[in-house]
Amino acid sequence: MNRYKSIATILLALIVSTMSIAVVGCTRKSIVPTQATSAIQTQVIKDITAKESFSLIQENSSNVNFVIVDVRTPSEFSEGHIKNAINIDFYAPTFREAIGKLDKAKMYLVYCRSGNRSTQTTAIMKDLGFREVYNIDDGIVGWNNNGYPTVK
């Protein structure tokens, strides 16, 4: 009989210990969200049309935290670009570093010629932790096809 009481006591102790560890582990996980989880929840990375881009630019015309980034080559940029855009050449060896130096808390509109380089750029910006990035899905070609203005 004493042998059964000893086994029962040991089993009860194991069950209580296991339950305590499980409860503490689950509680800690739910109370303390990871930084990665927080970053993912607050990011906005979105492809938009030229028409939506035009509206976004107009809505943010006086917003100092709104930046337009043209990722075409300098010669493409000089042929005509969206007003107030900055040029960061996608093909430059320092491209990722240059993008990484931008303020991650600002809102960005990114474009290239047809949407390929800017799509790759938004993926890089997402990986680098940028908060809000919009991509003109058909690039400056779509912009021009809609008759929106460019400057040289």
Known catalytic residues are 112
Chain centroid to CA 22: how far?
34
How far apart are the C-alpha atoms of 121 and 118, rounded to whole Å? 5
- What are the Cα distances from residue 123, in Å, to 5, 93, 142? 62, 17, 20
Structure tokens at 67: 């930046």
Neighbours of 121 (CB within 10 A): 23
Q: Please give the span between the terminal C-alpha atoms of the chain, in angstroms, as a whole number.
A: 95
Per DSSP, the three-state class of 33 is coil
- What are the Cα distances from residue 56, in Å, to 61, 90, 135? 9, 23, 11
